[in-house]
Amino acid sequence: MSKTVRWGILGASNFAKRQMAPAIHLANGGELTAVATSDPAKAADFVAMAPGLRIHDSYEALLADPDIDAVYIPLPNHLHVEWTKKAAEAGKHVLCEKPIALNAAEIDDLIALRDSTGVLIAEAFMILHHPQWTKAQALFRQGAIGKIARVGATFSYNNPDPNNIRNRKNIGGGGLRDIGVYIFGATRFVTGEEPDRILSTRIDWDGDVDTTAHLTAQFPSFHYTGLVSMRMAPYQEIVFHGDAAVMTLTAPFNAGVYGEARIALSGPEQTTQVWRFTADNHYVRQVAAFNATVQGGADYACPLEFSRGTQAMMDMVFDAVR
């Protein structure tokens, strides 16, 4: 493989255009080499960003390109496993949007494929690459909040568009699959714990799509409350509440877009320490970390085993609903 990781993107989605293509272009250790789309007009913005970009008219053609080392997959959720497998079988490393699968058993298949092919397969859970989250995990492990009792996580936005892929059940839509991964995965990352059981669920439906989900769960050391919604005003926050302090992240999932990434640690006598993270782009850091792992560097921060744990919690929620 070349010293530089040469990337291809399967599809010309708006998210790929706005976030991940620029991140691939800017991250150390890689370059954006090709995009696959059957619509040349959709490729124009990608070409403007990376002159000399190759445009393939099919996903299969891009996977057959010997000059591509890694692919990014921003396709609708129900296509993630299929095209991750095809890319890995073609010898390409894969960074696939979340959720990488629709149930934990599918991730077991991907782990087996990763191990048999030797390629890196990972879910694009970008927040784990942001220093806000590594600092939050470090504070927790240092005992900064004392003995944990409660975690509360909220992530909402308002998107009633019936044509949006998030509002189409048949392609893996729904609020839990879209943003539940954040409130579940972030909690698991900081605490290092897995849920024992789902205590309660209340789901609002629009047809067959879950639009708002309230749930509670019991972890070994704490009680968990979560809310995700695609029909409420934009809001995001996660709180880790211990017997010594409260740790609050005020823009935990869309740092720099929703607001400034910040950690506030409120301790005894109303004293508060604040850490601010103003300049870090978690998409760029994610791609740089992926490149470094492909090139023989450190272990990747979000392996498939971690993603499987988040999906297992998602499965537990859907089982509780049923």
List, by residue number, the catalytic residues.
Answer: 98
Find how far residue 93's CA is from the centre of its chain: 17
What is the Cα–Cα distance from 67 to 90, expressed in whole angstroms? 12
Question: Is-contact 280 188, C-beta < 8 A?
Answer: no
How many angstroms separate the most distant Cα atoms in the chain? 63
Q: Taking Cα atoms as reference points, which of 309, 252, 313 lies closest to residue 282?
A: 252
What is the Cα–Cα distance from 103 to 87, expressed in whole angstroms? 20
DSSP conformational letter for 166? G
- Contact residues for 84 (Cβ-Cβ < 8 A; gap 6+): 73, 94, 96, 100, 110, 121
Return the SS3 of 311.
Answer: helix
Say if strands 231-242 and 121-123 run parallel, antiparallel, or are unpaired. unpaired
Residue type, 122: A
Neighbours of 276 (CB within 10 A): 11
Rounded (10°) angle between helices 131-141 and 181-191: 40
Strand partners, 6: 31
- Please tell me the number of Cα atoms within 13 Å of 98 on its side-chain side: 26
DSSP conformational letter for 165? G
Instruction: Please state the φ and ψ torsions of residue 100, each to the nearest 5 degrees.
Output: -65, -20
What is the Cα–Cα distance from 127 to 251, expressed in whole angstroms? 11
